[in-house]
Structure formats: C-alpha cells, structure tokens
Amino acid sequence: MSREVERTYEELRTRKIDVEEAVRRGIDFSERIVKWKTEEKEIGKNYPLYEALRIVLPNIEKQNAISFVNDLSERLEQSGLLFPGWQMQRDVRRRVKSETRVSLLTEYKGHRDKLTNSQSNFSRQWSK
C-alpha cells in the first residue's frame, strides 16, 4: 500500500490526477487501514502469522486460518519454542520453521505446490 500512496502523491504533485481522484484514493486507503486494524484487533497477537498465511493461501476461509494460526502458536508455545528473543537463536528459528512447515503441509495437503513455493515467505513473516 505504501507504493500506492507514494504513486498517488506523485501523480497529484505532477498533476496527472486531480484533487478529487487523490481524495478518493485517500479515502480508499483509510478504509483499508481501518479494515486491517479491526481484523488485527479481532485476531490478536497472532495477526502477523495470520496475515502471512493469507498471503500464501489467500482463498482459505478466515475462521479456518484463525483456527490454524492459533493452534500452531499454542503448539509452539507449549513446545517452549516461542519466548522473548526466540528469533535471535538460529536453532530455535529452524525448529519453528520446521514445525510450521509440517503443520502447513499436514493441514493444507491440497495446496502442497503453493506451500512449498511460498514457505520461505511465510516463515519470514512469522519472524517479524
């Protein structure tokens, strides 16, 4: 979205679009941000993981994604893999990535091709 905002600003600045169009786009950006914030509040601490899953598998149902993310997070916490600073420890990151991969491939067998191509993006998003 930041690229869209920058492009809109540049187009307005160079007069490629009029003020009305820029305002319309600004309202659209605001509505999208409100939607994201509402969803983030609803989902809670697992929102980054949920968002990463939706990027990898955009067509899965919201409740299925939330359930999967919550179960995975709980399983990783119970295994002692999630703690403050876990991302800084190489071995822990590898174990989290491995557990995530196994869980994804088990739960979403029908999406194996998409998952194997997008797995690194999903794991990177989780580490943020």
Q: What is the pLDDT of residues 22-61, one digit of tens each?
A: 999 999 999 999 988 888 888 888 888 888 888 888 888 8
Query: Are 102 and 78 in the same domain?
Result: yes
Enclosing domain of residue 89: 45-126
What pLDDT shows up at residue 30? 94
**Contact, 82 vs 97, CB < 8 A?**
no
What pLDDT shows up at residue 3? 92
What pLDDT shows up at residue 19? 92
For residues 117, 122, 127, 128, the Cα torsion angle rounded to the nearest 10 degrees is: 120
Query: Are 102 and 68 in the same domain?
Result: yes
Averaged pLDDT score across all residues of the chain: 84
Query: Are 50 and 28 in the same domain?
Result: no
Query: Are 60 and 95 in the same domain?
Result: yes
Tokens describing residue 56: 């990898």
What pLDDT shows up at residue 120? 55
Query: Are 67 and 93 in the same domain?
Result: yes
Between 19-43 and 47-56, two packed helices, what is the crossing angle to 10 degrees?
120
Question: For residue 112, what are the CA distances in angstroms to 56, 93, 102, 104?
Answer: 11, 22, 11, 9
Residue for token pair 């929102």:
47
Other C-beta atoms closer than 10 Å to the C-beta of 96 total 21
Give the Cα separation of 63 and 72 in Å (integer).
14
Mean pLDDT on 78-98: 87
What pLDDT shows up at residue 114? 67
The answer, yes or no, to whether residue 118 has pLDDT greater than 60, is no
The answer, yes or no, to whether residue 79 has pLDDT greater than 70, is yes
Query: Are 7 and 35 in the same domain?
Result: yes
Query: Are 58 and 117 in the same domain?
Result: yes
What does residue 79 show for φ and ψ, rounded to 5 degrees? -80, -5
Mean pLDDT on 75-101: 87
Query: Are 37 and 54 in the same domain?
Result: no
Query: Are 65 and 36 in the same domain?
Result: no
What pLDDT shows up at residue 28? 94
Query: Are 33 and 51 in the same domain?
Result: no
Query: Are 78 and 29 in the same domain?
Result: no
Closest CA to 100 of 58, 63, 72: 72
Q: What is the pTM of this model?
A: 0.60
Query: Are 69 and 38 in the same domain?
Result: no
Domain count for the chain, please give it: 2
